[in-house]
């Protein structure tokens, strides 16, 4: 199988597997006081140190969670109290669901943020919490977090960054760019599923969503998922071959365009590994199934979570609503090899030719 669905989950890296196994072989709950508990606690705190170091924060400002859905919800719960929440219209459902009454900040046709609209909204709501993704999971379009950070600081607003798809691919010092907090999820950069983190600026108070046994300095109750946390910490610093991956991405994109595809977010700064391809007149699920039968795994719009093909709110927000049901996402994993380009190009061309032929014949 040719796996081109890295934005749903990246293949587990070797170091992550090793770290998770080592943690599984460590007996004990980090909250226990006996020697086994202390050994588990040591692993947990070493992981926290590593995350803090990579994220330019302090260990006590790292809250481990089950993933980014929880980290985003925790940020909104903790920082959004008494503040109007603003969210981009292309945000992930984990933000949309946690802030259902948020004021929407529109994007332009290329998927980048409408900064004039943001400025106007921050003028109206200077005490807002702005939740913004660093990179879009469907299109790969990057938001200018530095510009958003400057604008929030100028108005006195707080910024929370959903950095899930950017971490490991185009890391930045999110806190230095003005974020009060940011969310990450281990399995999106080669860790194992089940752990994420909310990283905050110095001393930010975090009111927990789950109290339980008072773990994570009272900010997140529940036994932490130690194997997944150990894996997350060890892969944060792994090298990522952005240029090599972007070259394959460009070649795949050019091949798809030659077969009739339209690229969503073309022209905007994007992740090196992501292409959102609409094939006008051909349903996304038809494309997905044809590629699956050719042994290629891609996803349709925002459907990666539920398995069902829903129309993408991301493309609709970009004014591409009519193409939303006809777009697939191709996201290259960190271990993609050159052979993937030819294989994808051939399968896409065959799929497009078959799908478009009946329409051409009847036209
Ligand atoms: N934000 C973005 C941009 C994502 O792509 C995802 C995962 N699809 C999440 C948040 C949620 O991450 P998780 O499912 O690991 O909780």
Distance from residue 71's CA to the centre of ligand 1 (Å): 10
Tell me what pLDDT residue 304 has: 45
Does 347 have pLDDT greater than 90?
A: yes
87 lines ligand 1 (CB under 6 A): no
Distance from residue 69's CA to the centre of ligand 1 (Å): 6
The active-site residue out of 152, 170, 276, 304 is 304
- Tell me the per-residue pLDDT of 22-37, one tens digit each, with 9 for 90 and over: 999 999 999 999 999 9
ipTM: 0.99
Distance from residue 117's CA to the centre of ligand 1 (Å): 26
Strand partners, 259: none
Domains and CATH numbers, the chain: 2-9+241-362 (3.90.1150.10), 14-235 (3.40.640.10)
185 lines ligand 1 (CB under 6 A): yes
Q: Secondary structure of 166-212 in the HEC alphabet?
A: CCCCCCCCCCCCCCCEEEEEHHHHCCCCCCEEEEECCCCCCCCCCCC
pLDDT grade for 311, boundaries at 50, 70 and 90: confident
**Mean pLDDT value of segment 264-270:** 97
94 lines ligand 1 (CB under 6 A): yes
Query: What is the token pair recorded at 267?
Result: 């022209």
Distance from residue 118's CA to the centre of ligand 1 (Å): 24
Tell me what pLDDT residue 203 has: 86
Does 303 have pLDDT greater than 70?
A: no
Does 193 have pLDDT greater than 60?
A: yes
92 lines ligand 1 (CB under 6 A): yes
10 lines ligand 1 (CB under 6 A): no
Distance between CA atoms of residues 51 and 184, nearest Å: 10
Cβ 287 vs Cβ 279: under 8 Å: yes
pLDDT grade for 130, boundaries at 50, 70 and 90: very high
Distance from residue 301's CA to the centre of ligand 1 (Å): 14
Does 205 have pLDDT greater than 80?
A: yes
Distance between CA atoms of residues 155 and 147, nearest Å: 13
- Torsional class of 329: left (φ above 0), alpha (ψ -120 to 50), beta (otherwise): beta
**Mean pLDDT value of segment 125-130:** 98
Distance between CA atoms of residues 170 and 19, nearest Å: 23
pLDDT grade for 57, boundaries at 50, 70 and 90: very high
Tell me what pLDDT residue 302 has: 52
299 lines ligand 1 (CB under 6 A): no
Which atom of ligand 1 approaches the CA of 193 most closely?
15
| Pocket probe mutation, ligand 1, options 67, 183, 189, max atoms within 8 Å of Cβ | 67
Strand order in the sheet with 103-105: 62-65, 196-200, 181-185, 158-162, 129-133, 85-88, 103-105
The reported pTM is 0.96
168 lines ligand 1 (CB under 6 A): no
């Amino acid at each position: 199988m040719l796996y081109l669905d890295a934005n749903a989950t990246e293949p587990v890296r070797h170091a992550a597997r090793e770290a998770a196994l080592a943690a599984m072989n460590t007996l004990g709950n980090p909250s226990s006081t006996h020697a086994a508990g202390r050994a588990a606690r040591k692993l947990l705190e070493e992981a926290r140190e590593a995350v803090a170091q990579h994220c330019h924060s302090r260990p006590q400002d790292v809250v481990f969670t089950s993933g980014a859905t929880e980290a985003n919800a925790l940020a909104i719960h903790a920082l959004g109290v008494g503040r109007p929440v603003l969210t981009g219209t292309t945000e992930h459902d984990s933000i949309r669901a946690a802030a259902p009454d948020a004021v929407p900040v529109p994007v332009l046709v290329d998927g980048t943020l409408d900064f004039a609209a943001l400025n106007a909204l921050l003028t109206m709501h200077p005490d807002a919490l702005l939740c913004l993704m660093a990179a879009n999971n469907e299109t790969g379009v990057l938001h200018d977090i530095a510009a958003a950070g400057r604008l929030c600081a100028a108005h006195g607003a707080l910024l929370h960054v959903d950095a899930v798809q950017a971490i490991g691919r185009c890391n930045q010092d999110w806190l230095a760019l003005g974020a009060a907090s940011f969310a990450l999820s281990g399995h999106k950069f080669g860790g194992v599923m089940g752990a994420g983190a909310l990283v905050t600026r110095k001393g930010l108070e975090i009111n927990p969503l789950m109290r339980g046994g008072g773990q994570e300095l009272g900010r997140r109750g529940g036994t932490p998922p130690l194997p997944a946390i150990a894996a997350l910490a060890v892969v944060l610093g792994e090298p990522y071959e952005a240029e090599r991956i972007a070259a394959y991405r460009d070649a795949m994109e050019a091949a798809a365009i030659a077969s009739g595809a339209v690229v969503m977010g073309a022209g905007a700064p994007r992740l090196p590994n992501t292409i959102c391809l609409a094939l006008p007149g051909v349903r996304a699920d038809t494309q997905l199934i044809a590629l699956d039968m050719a042994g290629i795994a891609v996803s349709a719009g925002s459907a990666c979570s539920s398995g069902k093909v829903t129309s993408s709110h991301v493309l609709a927000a970009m004014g591409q609503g009519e193409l939303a049901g006809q777009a697939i996402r191709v996201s290259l994993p960190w271990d993609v090899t050159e052979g993937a380009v030819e294989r994808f190009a051939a399968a896409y061309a065959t799929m497009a030719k078959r799908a478009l032929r009946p329409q051409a014949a009847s036209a």
